[in-house]
């Protein structure tokens, strides 16, 4: 039950310095510079990381845990994601979403997949609904799903400015945001509307109108994929000044154009005076990454992977962003947005989710809820059907 990680360069994500971290069960029970003395009878597992960086486990706030896709027929549906597709990338918490296909995939399957990942040792949540209005729900309303279903923390990903959306009106959009916000108040959950942003010329205009015309707090409106093209990103920078969190996607190689990388988006956002604590980065893991021409015909596609998150962290640090600042969009910022109060930071009483990075910022060891999932870069714990 006890695990001691010694001689770690600790980031909370704020720098703590060289120290030691002790976990018991699923919690951190000690973090400090003094090496705790543990009697042999406790049979603690001790690992000396010899000065390696130890950081909070990454929170992937946007992943298609049941698989995404489906834009070109049944064969284009991406399979559900397995446990190690997250943990090998340092992801210890994930939030599942539905996308284009919110008909053959639904809230029931999303909630069940979240529970399955929890059984396998990950921390998992999800949003209710998907691209389309009326929302696909389990209880009959977004408010009911958030209030009565433990894993459900918000609505999303609701498609805006995209030819695949149901073209919601402002009134429809505001009613959904109201449901999410009130449910969040009732439960202490995030209560956000996580908005898929497409390449449509209207961009973020609906979110801008919503903030200008309603009493719902701006933090409820949470656009994602804001770096998919440059005009959209410029709008997102302006929108964030109203108090929104904006989410960039760590697109894999070959899928960035015509936008900018998540790392570049963060640097530009910061340099333009944006509040760095309101910027998050997610992977779109398991999601299909299609590109369409002006008539809606598919021109290319790919699949998102959580592996892009440590790659993005490396890009940021290589470009001179200090490690604590580079970590925040993957850890503390996401935890604050989603109200995951025991996630995103290393501290006594927090969940024992941590990543040990090597000198090249690659994932070396991963602990999720107090158990090792990756050791020395190798998968140590697999999901049920990964073992078959």
Q: Quick one: 364 and 292 in the same domain? A: no
Q: Which residues are annotated as a binding site?
A: 62, 64, 196, 225, 284
CATH number of the domain residue 48 falls in: 2.30.40.10
Q: Quick one: 64 and 37 in the same domain? A: no
Q: Quick one: 264 and 355 in the same domain? A: no
- H helical segments located in the chain: 84-87, 107-119, 142-148, 170-187, 205-213, 230-240, 262-271, 308-318, 323-327, 332-338
Catalytic residue among 102, 145, 284, 307: 284
CATH number of the domain residue 167 falls in: 3.20.20.140
**40 included as an active-site residue:** no
Residue where a domain stops, chosen among 320, 338, 356: 338
Q: Quick one: 230 and 181 in the same domain? A: yes
Q: Quick one: 140 and 204 in the same domain? A: yes
Encode pLDDT of 64-84 as tens digits. 999 988 877 888 888 999 999
Encode pLDDT of 306-346 as tens digits. 999 999 999 999 999 999 999 999 999 999 999 999 999 99
Give every CB contact of residue 215 below 8 A, 6+ residues apart in sequence: none
Residue 388 has pLDDT above 90, yes or no: no
Q: Quick one: 284 and 173 in the same domain? A: yes
Q: Quick one: 349 and 362 in the same domain? A: yes
Strand partners, 366: 355, 374
Domain hosting 349: range is 2-55+345-386
Confidence of residue 122 (pLDDT cuts 50, 70, 90): very high
67 burial class (0-12, 13-18, 19+ CB within 10 angstroms)?
A: buried
pLDDT at 26: 97
Residue 297 has pLDDT above 90, yes or no: no
Look at the alpha carbons of 99, 100, 104, 107 in this order and tell me if their dihedral is positive or negative. positive
Q: Quick one: 44 and 62 in the same domain? A: no
Q: Quick one: 33 and 153 in the same domain? A: no
Q: Which residues are annotated as a binding site for Zn(2+)?
A: 62, 64, 196, 225, 284
CA distances from 210 to 88, 178, 214, 239 (A): 39, 11, 6, 11
- Per the structure, the count of domains in the chain is 2
Encode pLDDT of 243-288 as tens digits. 999 999 999 987 888 899 999 999 999 999 999 999 999 999 998 8
Encode pLDDT of 24-70 as tens digits. 999 999 999 999 989 999 999 999 999 999 999 999 999 999 998 88
Return the DSSP state at 193: E
Q: Quick one: 216 and 324 in the same domain? A: yes
pLDDT at 254: 79
CA distance 219 to 294: 32
Q: Quick one: 358 and 311 in the same domain? A: no
Q: Quick one: 174 and 320 in the same domain? A: yes
């Amino acid at each position: 039950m006890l695990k001691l990680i010694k001689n770690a360069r600790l980031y909370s994500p704020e720098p703590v310095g060289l120290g030691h971290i002790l976990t018991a069960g699923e919690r951190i029970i000690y973090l400090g510079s003094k090496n705790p003395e543990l009697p042999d009878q406790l049979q603690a597992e001790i690992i000396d990381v010899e000065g390696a960086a130890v950081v909070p486990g990454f929170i992937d706030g946007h992943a298609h845990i049941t698989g995404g896709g489906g834009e070109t027929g049944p064969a284009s549906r991406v399979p559900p994601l397995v446990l190690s597709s997250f943990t090998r990338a340092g992801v210890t918490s994930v939030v599942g979403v539905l996308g284009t296909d919110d008909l053959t995939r639904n809230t029931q399957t999303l909630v069940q997949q979240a529970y399955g990942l929890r059984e396998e040792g990950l921390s998992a949540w999800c949003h209710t609904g998907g691209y389309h209005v009326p929302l696909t729900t389990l209880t009959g309303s977004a408010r009911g799903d958030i209030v009565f279903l433990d894993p459900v923390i918000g609505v999303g990903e609701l498609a805006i400015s995209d030819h695949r959306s149901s073209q919601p009106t402002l009134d429809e959009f505001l009613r959904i945001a109201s449901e999410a916000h009130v449910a969040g108040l009732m439960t202490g959950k995030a209560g956000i509307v996580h908005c898929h942003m497409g390449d449509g010329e209207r961009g973020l205009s609906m979110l801008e109108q919503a903030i200008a015309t309603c009493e719902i707090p701006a933090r409820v409106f949470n656009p994602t994929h804001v770096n998919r093209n440059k005009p959209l990103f410029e709008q997102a920078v302006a929108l964030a000044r109203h108090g929104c969190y904006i989410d960039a996607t760590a697109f894999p190689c070959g899928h960035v154009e015509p936008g900018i990388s998540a790392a570049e988006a963060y640097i530009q956002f910061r340099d333009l005076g944006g509040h760095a604590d309101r910027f998050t980065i997610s992977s779109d893991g398991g999601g299909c990454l299609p590109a369409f021409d002006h008539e809606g015909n598919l021109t290319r596609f790919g699949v998102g992977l959580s592996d892009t998150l440590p790659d993005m962290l490396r890009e940021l640090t290589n470009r001179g962003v200090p490690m604590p600042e580079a970590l925040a969009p993957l850890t503390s910022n996401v935890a604050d947005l989603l109200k995951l109060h025991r996630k995103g930071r290393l501290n006594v009483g927090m969940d024992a989710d941590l990543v040990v990075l090597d000198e090249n910022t690659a994932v070396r060891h991963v602990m999720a809820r107090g158990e090792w999932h990756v050791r020395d870069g190798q998968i140590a714990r697999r999901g049920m059907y990964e073992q078959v």
